[in-house]
Amino acid sequence: MAEAGIEPSVGSKDDSYDNALAETINGLYKAEVIHRRGPWKTKQAVELATLQWVAWFNHHRLMGPLGYVPPAEFEANYHRQRAGQAATV
């Protein structure tokens, strides 16, 4: 990581600042992109694959707990609903 100019994330453990959700997503990313599609020839190839995966993860991945809609769609619907509620109050 140091060779690429990247610093590792730093955080505390076993308290409210521990971010298990972020670690889960990082694990999915590594399993689905980095390890499955490597070895990587360039840093740019990793960057492009990362951008594509994040777009898929947010805009195309269907999530059961959200009613089988992508997270971005669920969030947009949520904000639209909240704006509609605020307008009627």
**How confident is the model over 31-86, as pLDDT tens digits?**
999 999 989 999 999 999 999 999 999 999 999 999 999 999 999 999 999 998 88
* Total structural domains within the chain: 1
pTM of the model: 0.70
Burial track 34-50 (b if 16+ CB lie within 10 A, e otherwise): beeeeeeeeeeebeebe
| pLDDT at 1 > cutoff 70 | no
Domain residue limits at 8: 2-88
